[in-house]
Amino acid sequence: MDIRVGLGHDTHRLKQGKPLVIGGIAIVHDCGPDSHSDGDVLFHALTDALLGAVAAGDIGEWFPDNDPQWKDADSVVFLQKAKEEIERRGYAIVNVDCTVFAETPKLKPYKKRITSNLSEVLQLDRDNINVKAKTGEKVGPIGLGEAIAADAVILVQK
Ligand code: MG
Q: How far is ligand 1, taken at its centre, from the CA of residue 39, in Å?
A: 5
Q: How far is ligand 1, taken at its centre, from the CA of residue 101, in Å?
A: 13
- The pTM assigned to this predicted structure is 0.97
Rounded Cα distance between 76 and 143, Å, is 27
Rounded Cα distance between 5 and 28, Å, is 33
Return the ∠ at Cα 34 (arms to 33 and 38), rounded to 5°.
Answer: 60
Looking at residue 71, what is its pLDDT? 85
Looking at residue 72, what is its pLDDT? 82
Contacts of 55 (CB under 8 A, 6+ apart): none
One digit per residue, pLDDT tens: the chain, 158 residues?
799 999 999 999 999 999 999 999 999 999 999 988 889 999 999 999 999 999 999 999 999 888 888 888 899 999 999 999 999 999 999 999 999 999 999 999 999 999 999 999 999 999 999 999 999 999 999 999 999 999 999 999 99
Rounded Cα distance between 154 and 158, Å, is 13
Q: How far is ligand 1, taken at its centre, from the CA of residue 10, in Å?
A: 5
- Residue ranges and CATH numbers for the domains of the chain are 3-157 (3.30.1330.50)
Looking at residue 117, what is its pLDDT? 98
Rounded Cα distance between 95 and 137, Å, is 28
Q: How far is ligand 1, taken at its centre, from the CA of residue 156, in Å?
A: 22
Beta bridge partners of 6: 154
Is the torsion defined by CA of 128, 92, 46, 136 positive or negative? Answer: positive
Looking at residue 22, what is its pLDDT? 97
Looking at residue 36, what is its pLDDT? 87
Looking at residue 140, what is its pLDDT? 95
- First-to-final CA distance of the chain: 8
Q: How far is ligand 1, taken at its centre, from the CA of residue 11, in Å?
A: 6
